[in-house]
Amino acid sequence: MTNDDILTALDTQFSLDKENSKVVVVSLGVTGLSVAYFLHRLGLQFAIVDSRKNPPFNDKLLAEMPDVAIFTGGFDQTVFDVASHMVVSPGVSMQEPIIQQALARGVRSISDIDLFACAMREPVVAITGSNGKSTVTTLLGDMAKAAGKKVAVGGNLGIPALQLLSDEAELYILELSSFQLERTSQLNAVAGAVLNISADHLDRYANIDSYVEEKQKVYAGNGVMVVNNDCRYAGIKPQGNRKILTFATQGNADYTVLETPEGRSLAVHGRAIMPVDDLLISGVHNQKNALAALALGSVIGLPEAAMCSALRSYKGLKHRVQFVAKIDDVSWVNDSKATNVGACVAALQNFKDASVVLIAGGDAKAADMSDLVPLLKTKVKALLLIGKDSQLIKQAVNDCIAVLDLGTLKKAVKEAQKIAQTGDTVLLSPACASMDQFTNYKERGNMFVSEVKALQK
Return the CATH fold of 3-110.
Rossmann fold (3.40.50)
DSSP state of 225: E
Q: Taking 70 as the threshold, does the pLDDT of residue 235 lie above it?
A: no
With bands split at pLDDT 50, 70 and 90, how would you rate the model's confidence at 117? very high
| Entry pTM | 0.82
Tens-digit pLDDT profile for residues 328-350? 999 999 999 999 998 899 889 88
Mean pLDDT, range 226-246, rounded to an integer: 80
CATH 3.90.190.20 range(s) for the chain read: 322-455
- Give the count of beta carbons closer than 10 Å to the beta carbon of residue 60: 13
As a whole number of angstroms, the distance between CA 176 and CA 426 comes to 31
Q: By the 8 A CB rule, do 449 and 334 touch?
A: yes
Task: Evaluate if residue 236 carries a pLDDT over 80.
Answer: no
Cα–Cα dist 264/13, whole Å: 49
Q: What is the pLDDT of residue 437?
A: 94
pLDDT at residue 281, rounded to an integer: 84
From the number of C-beta atoms within 10 Å of its C-beta (0-12, 13-18, 19+), residue 240 rates as exposed
Start-end of CATH 3.40.50.720 domains in the chain:
3-110
Q: Is the pLDDT of residue 200 over 90?
A: no
Task: Specify the pLDDT at position 210.
Answer: 83
| In the predicted structure, residue 290 carries a pLDDT above the cut 80 | yes
CATH of the domain spanning 322-455? 3.90.190.20
Per residue in 379-388, pLDDT tens?
999 999 999 9
CATH superfamily of 115-313: Mur-like, catalytic domain (3.40.1190.10)
pLDDT at 165: 96
pLDDT of residue 451: 96
Other beta carbons less than 10 A from residue 424's beta carbon: 21
Contact 379, 370 (CB under 8 A): no
The ranges of the chain annotated as CATH 3.40.1190.10 are 115-313
Selection from 147, 97, 151 nearest residue 124 by Cα? 151
Counted residue by residue, the chain has a size of 457
pLDDT of residue 202: 64
Are the beta carbons of 407 and 345 closer than 8 angstroms?
no
Residue 208: which H helix or E strand, with range? Answer: helix 208-215
Q: Catalytic amino acids?
A: 133, 156, 201
pLDDT interval class at 203 (50, 70, 90): low
Predicted pLDDT of residue 40? 97
- Rg of the chain (C-alpha set): 23
Question: Mind listing the pLDDT tens digit for each residue in 404-429?
Answer: 999 999 999 999 999 999 999 999 99
Can you give the three-state secondary structure of 104-117, one letter per residue? HCCCEEECHHHHHH
Determine the Cα–Cα distance for residues 432 and 18; give it in Å rounded to an integer. 43
Question: For residue 253, which of 305, 299, 308, 292 has the smallest C-alpha distance?
Answer: 292
Can you tell me the distance from the alpha carbon of 374 to that of 35, in angstroms, rounded to the nearest whole number? 44
Q: Distance (Å, rounded) from C-alpha 190 to C-alpha 225?
A: 9
Measure Cα distances from 190 to 124, 329, 397 in Å. Answer: 6, 48, 43
- The average pLDDT across 160-188 equals 94
One-letter amino acid at 405 equals D
The identity of residue 306, as a single letter, is: A
Query: Given this model, what pLDDT does residue 316 score?
Result: 81
Using one digit for the tens of pLDDT, what is the confidence trace for 237-286? 656 688 999 999 987 899 999 999 989 999 999 999 999 999 988 788 89
How many other C-beta atoms are found inside a 10 Å radius of the C-beta of residue 335? 27
